[in-house]
Amino acid sequence: MNYRRNRLPGGTYFFTVVTANRTPLFNNPAAVQRLRTTLRNVINRRPFTIDAMVVLPDHIHCLWTLPADDTNYSTRWRLVKGGFTKSFQQHSTGKPGKPKSLWQKRYWEHTIRDENDFNRHVDYIHYNPVKHGYVARAIDWPYSSFHRFVREGVLPVDWGINEAELEGVGSE
What's the pTM value of the predicted model, to 2 decimals? 0.89
User: CA 149 → CA 26, 49, 62, distances in Å?
Assistant: 22, 15, 14
Give yes or no for a contact between 86 and 100, defined as CB atoms under 8 angstroms apart: no
Buried b (16+ CB within 10 A) or exposed e, 52-72: bbbbbbbbbbbbbbbeeebee
The candidate with the shortest Cα–Cα distance to 168, out of 103, 123, 129, is 123
Residue 164 has pLDDT above 90, yes or no: no
Class of domain 12-159: alpha beta
Residue 55 has pLDDT above 90, yes or no: yes
Give me the count of residues in the chain: 172
* Confidence at residue 114, expressed as pLDDT on a 0 to 100 scale: 96
- Whether 107 is a known active-site residue: answer no
Q: In what order do the strands lie in the sheet with 59-65?
A: 49-55, 59-65, 12-18, 108-111
Burial class for 9, CB neighbours closer than 10 Å (0-12, 13-18, 19+): exposed
Residue 95 has pLDDT above 80, yes or no: no
Active-site residue, selected from the candidate residues 13, 107, 124, 143: 143
